[in-house]
Structures are given as C-alpha cells and as structure tokens.
Amino acid sequence: GDPLGKDKQMKRIAILGSTGSIGTQTLDVVRANGDIEVVGIAAGRNIDALESQIREFSPKICGVWDEEKAKELAVRVADTDTKIVSGMEGLLEIAVMEGYEILVTAVVGMIGIRPTMAAIEAGKDIALGNKETLVTAGHLIIPLVKEKKVRLLPVDSEHSAIFQCLNGEHGNKIEKILLTASGGPFRGWAREQMKNVQVEDALKHPNWSMGAKLTIDSSTMVNKGLEVMEAKWLFDVGMDDVQVVVQPKSVIHSMVQFEDGAVMAQLGTPDMKLPIQYALYYPERRPMRGDRLDFWSMKEIIFDKPDYENFRGLALAREAGKAGGSVPVVFNAANEFAVAKFLGKKISYLEITDMLEAAMEHHKKIAHPSLDEVLGPPGSCRRPRTGQRPRGTSQPSQRWAWGYARRPPRPRPER
C-alpha cells in the first residue's frame, strides 16, 4: 500500500519550546520539506501559538508549562485528537513517548535538562538547541549519550559549523576550535560606555534574530562564554583549545584547526534554518531556499580579538568552564537570574556581570554535582530577606544565585 516508500522515510520529531525562535524556525523547516511529522510540541504559556500549531501539525501530545494555560488550551482544542499535558511531567511524557526519533530541545534555561536526559534514556537522538543542558550537566549528559548510543546533533549555528567541519575527518585530532563571535551591538565599547545601556539597546542584535534572553546574552558575550563551555563537551576538547574569534558580520560560523595547521571553516548567511535542517537530516544536505553569500558585495571579512576586559562575562565564563564542577551551574544560574532582572528593568546593564562575579566568588565548588545538585541542591539556597523567591524565576537552581547575587561584588583589583 505504499509504493513510494514514503511512510518509511517520514521523519518523526518532537519539539520542546515550539513557540520560541528555534521552535518556530524548526516548524518552518518542517513546512518546507514535507516529510517530517511533528508528534509532540511544548511551550511555556503562549497557547494562542500552540493552538495554531496543533491545528496545523496535529501532534499527538502538546505540553504547556503553565497549568492554568494548559487547562484553557485543552478546552480550546477539545475538537482535535491532541492530548494536552502540563508542567515538568508533561515535558517528560513528550520526551519519552513512542513513535519518534529526534527530540528538538529549544526551551530556554535549565528546564530542558530533565526532559533531555529522559529522551536520551529512551533512545532518542537530540537536536540540541538548549545551551544550559551541556553547560551545567555535560558531565552527566555526555556519558549517557555514549551509553545509549544516541546522537547529539548541535543546532546552535557555531556548533553546527564545527560539526560540519568535522564531517569526513575520520576522527582526526582537533588542535583548536575557532569559535566565531559577532561581538554583539556593543563591540568596541568600554565598560564605562555601557553604563546606561537600556533593555531596548541590548535587544538589537546586528546579525541574528533570536529570543530576548539569548540576545541579551549575546550583547554581554556571556552567550559566547556558554558556547565555549558547550563546545568543550560536544567536541571533547579542553577550555584552552577553544579560541574565540570576533568576526563582526557572522559570515564564518566557526572553524576547526587540525594538527597539520589546516583550518576548515563553515560559511553562510546568518539563517538558523540551515543548522536546524542539517541537524534534522544529518548527514544528508537538503536543498534550502534563501539568500546565498555574495562575496562581491562582502569584499572582506574582518577579524578581531575578543575583549575580555570590557566583556567581563566572557572572561568569567572561561573561569567557570576551567573550574568545572558546580561552578558553570552557578555561572549559568546567576546569569539567568540577572538577565531576567535586567529585562524586568530591575537592575542596570553592568549589574548583570557584577552579579555573575559575585555569585562565583561566593560559591563553594562541588566537584561532581549530581542532577539534583545541578537543578538546585537543598541547603544551597539562601532565602532572600523578603522571605520570597525572586519573581520570574521558575528554576530552583536560580536560588543558588539569588542569595549571592544580592551582595555587592568585591572590588576588583586594579589591572
């Protein structure tokens, strides 16, 4: 009954974070190809978007983080066959459900860790669009990926580029990873000049279109710091083997230098759909519409050294990655917390990195944190004086940062 063998070739995926930037672009890739079935979707609370996704893609399950919104959505889509689930249990149910092969993890924050691990346990390949997973739990995820023999397919443009550069290299040793960075909207600025940066300024990224948290992280270069840590885990190299190269136009998406000095680079227009599609069809390259690089109008590619003095977040990320253990967890938690505060206009722009620094200084490192410790160990939480958890934080681990983040940072020694 299937002369074209079409059913056999249907890919089946689930997407956590289907209403966000990576999630919606994943659905664009699904639309453009026509041979991918979306069996599960999940998002935080945007049920308008989820409803239209349910009507367009008919997933078997849809998860909503917010319980109340989940109930509301269940009423709205009662005429469909999609089952509505909620909370972490909902995400886990989607992660381990039968009948799909690739989980796209595109949720922002540490919320992605448990479902990612559950999916690996269930033998699913992971299209990894969530940085926090490897940054904070790489020591737990990587051994699990090896044990379960699943594929960890990078979705982030830089890591996809590195992954593409390694294709066909038959395990040749990496001498150095050259991770490119645009430098963000404040490239070339001194810290002093960044004093009065407003949310609106930081949300303007010169090249890529991304979610708000990621855009702020790009402006502080914390994002690049997280990517260095992520690269360390994904490609099994040391922190010092990952060199950040500023390349303002984001033409080169990253490079790999081998032991004979050869450098392989992946170039392209800044379009996240390419790395997403590459992850979903790996190792096959599918045709994709869109702009192509125009070398004649580009004329030159400019390189620069990263500025660790003025972009403290990048320097602190390196320190965190080198220290390892629970330090990257605290770095990440403090950053999630501080960025939420900045987006809520509660703190100034430079206070983001001040908070990171304070959190790291006051943290006592745990060498091999367990999953529970990564997600928020008992006793590590200092209650704020108001007796309430900070607003807008849903991650227990953010409490790690909370007590520390309120303290003023120790003055930095003069350089």
Q: Interface residues with Mg ion (CB under 5 A)? A: 156, 158
Closest contact distance (angstroms) between CB of 214 and Mg ion is 8
Sheet holding 252-258, edge to edge: 242-246, 174-181, 252-258, 263-267
Are 227 and 317 in contact, with CB atoms under 8 Å apart?
Answer: no
Closer of 50 and 228 to Mg ion (Cβ): 228
Closer of 158 and 357 to Mg ion (Cβ): 158
For residue 205, which of 293, 294, 304, 272 has the smallest C-alpha distance? Answer: 272
The residue of the chain with the least Cβ separation from Mg ion equals 156
Distance CA 125, CA 280 (A): 10
Closest contact distance (angstroms) between CB of 219 and Mg ion is 13
Closer of 156 and 354 to Mg ion (Cβ): 156
Closer of 129 and 369 to Mg ion (Cβ): 129
| Tokens, residue 194 | 């960044």
Q: How far is CA 86 from CA 90, 141, 237, 336, 391, in A?
A: 5, 24, 38, 23, 21
Closest contact distance (angstroms) between CB of 183 and Mg ion is 13
In the numeric block, the tokens 């790690």 are attached to 400
Closest contact distance (angstroms) between CB of 157 and Mg ion is 5
Q: Say which amino acid occupies 128.
A: L
Closer of 70 and 280 to Mg ion (Cβ): 280
Closest contact distance (angstroms) between CB of 76 and Mg ion is 35
Closer of 125 and 158 to Mg ion (Cβ): 158
Are 17 and 127 in contact, with CB atoms under 8 Å apart?
Answer: no
Closest contact distance (angstroms) between CB of 34 and Mg ion is 28
Closest contact distance (angstroms) between CB of 156 and Mg ion is 4
| Tokens, residue 388 | 């309430």
CA 294 to chain centre: 29
In the numeric block, the tokens 């934080």 are attached to 393
| Tokens, residue 316 | 């602190």
SS3 212: helix
Closer of 109 and 390 to Mg ion (Cβ): 109
